[in-house]
Structure 1
C-alpha cells in the first residue's frame, strides 16, 4: 500500500467519467442503517446470567450464556476484549462441566477459530469427538477446522461421512468445499439451497449468515447487483451489521468508483465498530484518491489497534501486506510469514511466504514455494497475483501473461489500487 502521489493525478483525470451506468447502489437504500451507531454491549439477559457468576461459581449455564453474549458484543463492536472474555468463560465451563462436556469443548473450539488459533481449536474439537456424543456436530466442526488448517484430504473424508443433500449443515459445507475447488457456480448453487432452508426456518442467525455470505460469493462471481441485494437483506434483519455495511462500501468503491461515498459509509461504521480491517480499507481508498493525510491516519489507527496483544494471530496476513509495502520490514515479513504458515499451512499463507522471500531478493526460493505449495492449489485472485509477481521476477513471461489476463478480469474483487499493480505486470 505504498502511497503514490501520482495516483492523485490519475483520480483527477477520472472525475469526469460517468459511472452512473454501472451503479447498483443508492444511498436511499442504506442511509437509515448508517444512522444506527449504537453498539450493543449489554442486555437484560446478559445482566441476569452475569449476576450469577461469583469467584467460586460452579453454575455451568451462567458461563455458557455469558460467553454467548460476549460473542454478540464482539460482533457488534469489533472489540477483541469481548472475544477474550468469552474464551475465559468457556474455559471455566470446560473446567467444571461433568455433563455435556462435549458441548463446551465445541464452543471453546469455535472461539479459538474466531481467534485464528486453529491448532488449539483442533485439540478441543478432538476432545469433543472422543466423548462420542453428537457425532454430526463434531464432524461439522472438524471439517471447518481442517479446511482452515489446509488439511483438505482430511476435510473431504469428513464431508463424505455427513453428506446429506437435504441437511443445512452439509449444504453450507459443500458450498465451502466447492469454493475451495474454484467452482463458484456450484458454490452459489449450494448457498441458494441453504438460503431456502434458512428462510423456511425463519432462524435469524442462519439468515444473517446466509445473506452476508451470499453477498460475498456473488461479489466474487461478478454479480454485483445480487451481492448488493444480499447485503441489504442482511441489514434488514440486523441494521447495525458492520460486515454488510463494509460489503456495500466495497461495492461503492471498487465497482462504482465513488470513494467519497465509500468513505462516508466507513466513517459511519467506525462510529461504533472498531476493527483493524476497516482502517486498512480506509487507507486503501485514501491511497486511490491521493489523500495522504487520511492514508497516514488510517495506517496509524490500524497499527495502534493491532498492537493490542489480545489480537494474537488474527491479523498476521493483513500485517504482512503492510510489511510488503514498507522498506526495512523485509526480514520481519519473512519471520511473520513463517509464523503464519506454521499456524495454518494453506496455499494462501504459502503465497505470502513466497512474496516475503521475493521481497528479500530470494526469487528462486519464492518460485520453489509457488511451484510446490500454491500453483494449482488455489484459485484466489490474491494468490494468482503473488504467482504472477514471482513468475515475473524469474522471467517466466508466458506464465505471467496467462495470469495477467485472468487477473484483469478480477478488477472488482481486487480493487482499483491492486488493479494498477496488475496492469504493470
Structure 2
C-alpha cells in the first residue's frame, strides 16, 4: 500500500513538473491579438438612442425611454470606462424607479447594480431590500443580494442566498458558485464551475454569457498557473467583442508577468487607453514602466491616473487603488484616511488588510498586527493582501508566519507581477 502511495505521489509530482515546463515554454503570438488592437472608437450614440434620450429630456413620463436610455448608457460605460455614462444611467434609473408601478422591482434591481458598479454597496443593499418587499422576480433579487453581500463581506448571508438559488443548470448560479469557491480558496472547484457555465453559454449562444464566462475563466486559469489556457480564452473573448478591455488587459498581463516583455505589454495597454478612460490602466502602465526602468513614463502614468480619479463623479470607486497609490507616493495620512473609509464602506478581509498595511507604513506595527490577527489572517487568499500580511508579521518578528505565507506567495509570482518578486524573496 505504501509503495502504491509513493508511486502515485511521484507520478503526481512528475505531472506538475511537466506542466510547469510546458507553461514556461509558452509564448504569446502578436499575430493572434494584433487585429484586436486596431479597433475603431466606441460609438456612444445612435439615431434611436438620440430619439429616446431627447424624449426623456422633454417628458419625464416616458418610462420605456428611461429604461432603454439607461441600458445604453450602461453599455457605453462598460465599453469606454467613461464615468459620465454610468452617472447618466443612474439618473435615468432613479426617474424610472419613481415612476414605475408594475416594473418597479426591475428598475430597483437595475439601479442597485448601477450602485454596485459605483462601489456604493450599502445603497445597493437598501434598494435590494426594497425589491424583496415587492416580491417580483424573487430569483433575480436573490442573485443580486448574493452579489451585494459578497462585496460587503457578509459571507454568511451571501452563502444563504447562494443556497436559495441553487440550480446546477442555471448559468447565473454557476458563475456565483465559482465566485464563492474562489473566495474560499478552492481554485479547482471555481474553475470547474466556470467551465460548466461556459458550456451553458456555448449551448445557448448568448454572447453576453459567453463573454462573461470566457473572461472569468481566463482569469481563473491565470490564477491557477494555466497561462496558455488563460491566453486562449482571452482571445476567444476578443473574437466575440474585439473592443473588450478586460481581455486585452489580461493578455497584456501575460506578456508582462509571464514573458517579462514590458515594452510589448505597454503597447497593448496603449491600445486600450486610446478607447477606454478607466484610470486603473494608467496605474498598471506605471508599474510596467517601473519594471522597464522608464522613470519618465512612470511619473507621467501616475499623473494621468491621479488626474482621472480626482473627478468627483468617481466618488469612492477607486478607494482601494488610491490607498496603494498614496502609500507608494509616501502620502501616509491620506492613505490611512482612505483605508479607514473603505473599511466603513465594505469591511472585508481585503479592506482590513489595506488598513493594516497603511498602519504599518506609518510605523504602527502593533496596531497593524492586531488588525491582521482579528480580521485578515486565514480569511482571504488574495496574494496582494497576503504580501501585506507577511510584511506586517515580519515587522513584528513572527518568523514562522512569514515563512508559511512566503511559501504561498512564491507560487503566486505570476499574479503579483515581476516587481513584487524580489520583495517576496526577501521576506
CA drift at 1:21: 5.8
For each residue in 1:46-94, what CA deviation from the matched residue of structure 2 results, as whole angstroms up to 9, or x when unmatched? 2232232234320111111101100111111111000000001100111
- Corresponding residue of 1:39: 42
Q: 1:15 aligns to what?
A: none
SS of alignment partner, residue 86 of structure 2? helix
Corresponding residue for residue 10 of structure 2:
none
Q: 1:378 aligns with which of 377, 380, 385?
A: 380
| 2:351 corresponds to which of 349, 352, 370 | 349
Q: Aligned to 2:27, what secondary structure does the other structure show?
A: coil
Q: What is the CA–CA distance in structure 1 between the aligned matches of 2:325 and 2:147, rounded to whole Å?
A: 28
Q: Aligned residue for 2:408?
A: 406
1:304 to 307, 325, 342: 307
- Kindly indicate whether the alpha-carbon contact (under 8 Å) linking 2:56 and 2:65 is maintained by their aligned counterparts in 1: yes
Q: Please tell me whether the aligned partners of residues 148 and 344 of structure 1 are also in contact (alpha carbons under 8 angstroms).
A: yes
Distance 1:242 1:172 in 2: 20
Spell out structure 1 runs of 4+ moving beyond 4 A. none
Structure 1 unaligned spans of 5+ = 1-18
Matches within 5 A, 1:105-144: 105-144=108-147
Q: Which residue of 2 aligns with 1:423?
A: 425
Residue matched to 1:16: none
Change beyond 3 A, Cα 1:138–1:33: same
Aligned to 1:265: 268
Greater Cα shift, 137-146 or 375-384: 375-384
Matching of residues 254-293 of structure 1 within 5 Å: 254-293=257-296
Shift of 1:41: 1.0
Aligned match of 1:248: 251
- The 2-side partners of 1:277 and 1:256 are apart by 22
2: CA distance, partners of 1:23 / 1:159: 37
Residue 50 of structure 1: aligned partner: 53
CA distance in 1, matches of 2:169, 2:48: 34
Conserved in 1, the CA contact under 8 Å of 2:23 and 2:226?
no
Distance 1:232 1:342, change over 3 A: same
Q: Of 212, 228, 231, which residue of structure 2 is paired with 1:225?
A: 228
1:216 aligns with 2:251: no
Q: 2:113 aligns to what SS in structure 1?
A: helix
Please give the per-residue CA displacement for 1:14-46, whole angstroms capped at 9, x wherever unaligned: xxxxx9963431000011110114122113442
CA distance in 1, matches of 2:270, 2:131: 42
Cα distance, 1:225 vs structure 2: 0.6
Q: Secondary structure at the match of 1:54?
A: helix
The answer to whether the Cα contact below 8 Å between 1:22 and 1:256 also exists between their aligned partners in 2 is no
Query: Residue 105 of structure 2 aligns with which residue?
Result: 102
Which residue does 2:242 correspond to in 1? Answer: 239
- For the structure 1 residues 340 and 264, does the alpha-carbon distance in structure 2 shift closer, same or farther, using more than 3 Å as the test? same
Matches within 5 A, 1:38-187: 38-187=41-190
Deviations, residues 377-403 of structure 1 (Å, cap 9, x unaligned): 111111211110100010111111111
Q: TM-score normalised to the size of structure 1?
A: 0.94
Structure 2 CA distance for partners of 1:20 and 1:100, relative to 1, 3 Å = closer
Q: How many residues align?
A: 406
Q: Which runs of 5+ in 2 are unaligned?
A: 1-21
Does the 8 Å contact 2:63/2:99 carry over to 1?
Answer: yes
Q: Structure 2: how far apart are the matches of 1:112 and 1:207?
A: 24
Higher relative contact order by CA 8 Å / sep ≥ 6: 1 or 2? 1
